[in-house]
Structure 1
Amino acid sequence: MLYFAAILLKTWIGFVFLSCRKIVVGQPHADMMQNTKDTFILTMWHRNLLMAPKTLVSSKSYASLSSNHPDSKIGIIYARLTGATPVIGSGTGSASKRPIKNKNGAAAFRSLIRHLNNHICVWLTADIPPGPSCECGQGIIALARFSQKPIMPTAIRTQNEIIVEKAWDKFIIPKPFGKLVIAYGEPIHVPRHADDEMIETYRLKLEKNLNELHEKAESLLKG
């Protein structure tokens, strides 16, 4: 049943993508990803998760970080159907009021590093359940620091969307037709010697860049 649902989801997203008129922002950054021989970390806000595979450049292989929560099983199957290798594990957003459980975060982090060092790019969300939404976690900054791979901020929005207001991230379900904007930001390189203060600076920089990409996409959709 979950596999069938994931196939339907992939089919729906493909239909949405094909039916929309595309606008790409930051094409030089996309071209850089396409042409580089090195790997990178592609990220977006969690609310963009369904359309995330459509931001991936076709010349690369990818691993994706998937939560080990039971509700994420369909997402793991969906990732495999889109050609990504799921890595199971996650962190915990600062909005959580429950005791932090072992989410296999350390093992997942090591696995992502291995993928990045073996010609496989990584894509993951910058904010972490249960939120706050659009608040960048430190994990992605640490991943960039230890791997010495750049972070590529991205956003993808459609003109016709259903926004799940009750979801912690105001999750987006895209609908077909109209315009679709894919926005790529400038790569962010985190120095290996970055201390806690610098890590926070880069965390805020990535957060700002992702929000600006979303604002740019929304502006183009309204224009």
Structure 2
Amino acid sequence: MKHFFRTVAKVTVPPLLYVLMRIIWFSTSKKFHFISPVGEEQHVCVCWHGELFMSPQAYREIHKKQLASAIISSHFDGSLIAGTLKYLHIRPLRGSTKRGARQVLLQAFKSIKAGEEVLITPDGPRGPRHSMSDGAVGIALKSGLPIFIMNFMAENYWQLKSWDRFVIPKPFSKVDFYLQSISLEGMDFEEAKAFLSERMLEHTILQ
């Protein structure tokens, strides 16, 4: 019975979630703050797991036609996220940099070689919230690509009691997006992780 309900959810939830995301997107007042220029060059793209409701939409607003894939966990909730992101033309790479890391990283580098941008939530798939896993930094250092950071802060919002404190802006509220491109060139691994974490925490909802 559990398998049946999950199968049904995989079909029905993503389109409903996508419609809800677009309703919120078009009903909010959005302002884009480019902390540093984000050009058309290829990036590794990151946002916090709790910001997945809006950040992929902001990504598509900035990079409308860029080929893209996203590292998404192989868990059931990851299936729902993967199904939803397909509507934004973001191809799922199933796995995580914590579980099945080798396979998903190989997929990521193949995607980059094919010209895609790879989207990652550094604290996904299960947290802790706002922690920095190795994946995004490792891919950026190995590929030599800059990192496109996407954050947002909403004037009025709902916040779920999930581990990631998932944020959903309320309709007709103001949403500020903070976008920046950073380079990790010349940094060692731990220095790069600390630097990326610091920059990602500058413009996010912390409570």
Alignment RMSD: 1.8
Residue 96 (structure 2) aligned to one of 60, 74, 90:
90
- Tell me the equivalent position of 1:172: 167
Q: TM-score, normalised by structure 2?
A: 0.87
- The alignment status of 1:139 with 2:135, answered yes or no, reads yes
- Tell me the equivalent position of 2:28: 20
CA displacement 1:36-62 (0-9 Å, x = unmatched): 3xx211101110012122121213111
- Tell me the equivalent position of 1:73: 79
Measure, in 2, the Cα distance between the counterparts of 1:29 and 1:106: 32
CA displacement 1:184-203 (0-9 Å, x = unmatched): 12322344xx6xxx211110
Q: 1:190 to 1:110 in 2, by over 3 A?
A: farther
- Tell me the equivalent position of 2:122: 126
- Tell me the equivalent position of 1:99: none
Measure, in 2, the Cα distance between the counterparts of 1:75 and 1:128: 12
- Tell me the equivalent position of 2:43: 40
Measure, in 2, the Cα distance between the counterparts of 1:3 and 1:158: 30
Secondary structure of 1:25 counterpart: strand
Count residues in correspondence.
195
Q: After the TM superposition, which parts of structure 1 deviate over 6 Å for at least 4 consecutive aligned residues?
A: none
Q: 1:117 to 1:168 in 2, by over 3 A?
A: same
Percent identical residues: 20
CA displacement 1:162-192 (0-9 Å, x = unmatched): 1113x1111112321111111112322344x
Residue 55 (structure 2) aligned to one of 44, 52, 55:
52
| Letter in structure 1 aligned against 2:50 | R
Residue 194 (structure 2) aligned to one of 193, 201, 204:
204
| Runs of 5+ consecutive residues of structure 2 not aligned to the other structure | 1-7
Measure, in 1, the Cα distance between the counterparts of 2:73 and 2:184: 26
| Letter in structure 1 aligned against 2:155 | Q
| Letter in structure 2 aligned against 1:174 | P
Q: TM-score, normalised by structure 1?
A: 0.81
| Letter in structure 1 aligned against 2:136 | I
Q: What's the CA shift for 1:22?
A: 1.1
| Runs of 5+ consecutive residues of structure 1 not aligned to the other structure | 93-102, 219-223
Secondary structure of 1:116 counterpart: helix
- Tell me the equivalent position of 2:3: none
| Letter in structure 2 aligned against 1:54 | Q
CA displacement 1:43-93 (0-9 Å, x = unmatched): 01110012122121213111011100123211111121211110011133x
